[in-house]
C-alpha cells in the first residue's frame, strides 16, 4: 500500500481498508479515484448523489463510469436535504447582498454526511472522493485537510468545514496528482469520461445564471441605488442579488473609467469605487469552525478569501477580526475565509464584513 496516497495509521493493514465507498459524479476525477483505490487493493463501491433534477445527467454518467470500472453503484436521493441545506441559504444570501459558496455548505451538510451514512448502512468503513486535496493525521487521532500537491487544482478550501468524524475515514487519492496526469490515466484506461469537461461552478444551475434561477423561485434581492465613488446618486440598480464585492463587469453603468463594487449596504445601496481601490485591510468573520472543534487561537496565519486565491499572511484576534499583512482584494461577505499553517487547514469562517 502506498504511504503517499494514504498516510496515517488507519491504512496500516489490508484487512482494515478492504472496503471503500467512492462518491462518483460522472466526471474524470472521481472515475480515476476509483481506479487508484482498486489498484491499491480496495474493494470499491460507488455512490452517486442525486441532489436535484439538474443532476440527472450526472447520475447517468456515473452509471456509465461504474459499468466501465466494474464496480457496484448506489444512488443516493438528496433532494430535500440539498434544498434545505444548500439551495435555500444560497438564494437568501444573494438576496441579502452576500456572495455564498454552495459547495462549502454542501460538503459537510449534505455530500459527506450522506456518503458516511450510506457507508455505515453498507458496512463500509472508508469513504473517498475525487477532490484535489489531502488528509493528514497531524497528531495521534487528529486529522486535517491539507492543500493538494497541485496548487492550480487545490480544492482544500471547499472542505474546511469537515470534522473529525468524516476526516478520520476520508481518502483523497487525487491530492498527489496534476489534472492532466488524471486525464492521461483515464485515456490509458479507456474511460468514457477521459475528456469530459470540468464540472460547473454551480452544479444545480446548468445555465450559470444564478440571478434568473433565484428570481424564478419568486425571490428578489433588495432594491437600492448606485452610489458613485464620489458619493453621488447614480440611480437605481437591478437588485443586490446581481452584484458582489469586487465585481467590475456587468454593472450596466458607465462612469468614463473602470469602477467596481466597493460595498453593498444593508439598505440595498451598491457603493462603487474606482478600479485599483478594491483592496481591504481586513474582515470580520462569523460561524468560525475548526477540524477539531476547538476554538481557533489568536495568532498569525495564512488565509484564503476565495477558493482560487493564494493564501496571504494575516493576524487573527481569536474572536472575529482578521487583519491582512498587506491589503487583500475583495474579501466578499458570504464567502469563506480559510486559515492555513503551511498546507494544513486549521479552521475558517464566513466573511461578515470587509474592513477598509
* Residues 226 and 240 sit within 8 Å (Cβ to Cβ): no
Q: 169: number of CA atoms within 13 Å, CB side?
A: 20
Residues 329, 279 contacting (CB under 8 angstroms): yes
DSSP 228: -
Contact 176, 4 (CB under 8 A): yes
Here the cell at position 158 is 471547499
Reduced to 3 states, what is the DSSP secondary structure of residue 36? helix
The answer to whether 126 and 119 have CB atoms below 8 angstroms apart is yes
Contact yes or no for 194/179 (Cβ under 8 A): no
Q: Comparing C-alpha atoms, which of 299, 293, 290, 345 is closest to residue 321?
A: 299
Q: Helix, strand, or coil here: 201?
A: coil
C-alpha–C-alpha distance, residues 91 and 105, integer Å: 13
Annotated catalytic residues are: 106, 203
- Following DSSP, what letter does each residue of 201-216 receive, concatenated? SSTT-TT--HHHHHHH
Say how many C-beta atoms besides its own lie within 10 A of residue 52's C-beta. Answer: 15
Amino acid at each position: 500500500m502506498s504511504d503517499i496516497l494514504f498516510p496515517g495509521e488507519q491504512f496500516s493493514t489490508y484487512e482494515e481498508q478492504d472496503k471503500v465507498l467512492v462518491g462518483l459524479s460522472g466526471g474524470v476525477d472521481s472515475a480515476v479515484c476509483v481506479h487508484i483505490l482498486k489498484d491499491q487493493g480496495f474493494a470499491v463501491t460507488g455512490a452517486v448523489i442525486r441532489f436535484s433534477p439538474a443532476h440527472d445527467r450526472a447520475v447517468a454518467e456515473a452509471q456509465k463510469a461504474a459499468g466501465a470500472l466494474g464496480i457496484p453503484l448506489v444512488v443516493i436521493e438528496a433532494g430535500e436535504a440539498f434544498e434545505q441545506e444548500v439551495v435555500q441559504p444560497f438564494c437568501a444570501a444573494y438576496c441579502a447582498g452576500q456572495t455564498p459558496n454552495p459547495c462549502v455548505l454542501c460538503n459537510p451538510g449534505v455530500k459527506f454526511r450522506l456518503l458516511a451514512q450510506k457507508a455505515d448502512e453498507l458496512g463500509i468503513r472508508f469513504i473517498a472522493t475525487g477532490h484535489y486535496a489531502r488528509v493528514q493525521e497531524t497528531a495521534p487521532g487528529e486529522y486535517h485537510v491539507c492543500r493538494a500537491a497541485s496548487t492550480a487544482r487545490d480544492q482544500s478550501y471547499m472542505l474546511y468545514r469537515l470534522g473529525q468524524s468524516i476526516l478520520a475515514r476520508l481518502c483523497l487519492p487525487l491530492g498527489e496528482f496534476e489534472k492532466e496526469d488524471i486525464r492521461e490515466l483515464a485515456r490509458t484506461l479507456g474511460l468514457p469520461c477521459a475528456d469530459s469537461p470540468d464540472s460547473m461552478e454551480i452544479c444545480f444551475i446548468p445555465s450559470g445564471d444564478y440571478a434568473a434561477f433565484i428570481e424564478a423561485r419568486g425571490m428578489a434581492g433588495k432594491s437600492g441605488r448606485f452610489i458613485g465613488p464620489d458619493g453621488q446618486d447614480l440611480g437605481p440598480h437591478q437588485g443586490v442579488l446581481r452584484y458582489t464585492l469586487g465585481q467590475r463587469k456587468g454593472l450596466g453603468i458607465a462612469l468614463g473609467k473602470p469602477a467596481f463594487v466597493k460595498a453593498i449596504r444593508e439598505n440595498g445601496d451598491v457603493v462603487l469605487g474606482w478600479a485599483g481601490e478594491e483592496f481591504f485591510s481586513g474582515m470580520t468573520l462569523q460561524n468560525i469552525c475548526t477540524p477539531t472543534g476547538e476554538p481557533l487561537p489568536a495568532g498569525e496565519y495564512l488565509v484564503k478569501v476565495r477558493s482560487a486565491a493564494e493564501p496571504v499572511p494575516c493576524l487573527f484576534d481569536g474572536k472575529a477580526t482578521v487583519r491582512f499583512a498587506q491589503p487583500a482584494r475583495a474579501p466578499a461577505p458570504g464567502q469563506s475565509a480559510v486559515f492555513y499553517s503551511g498546507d494544513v487547514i486549521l479552521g475558517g469562517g464566513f466573511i461578515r464584513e470587509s474592513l477598509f
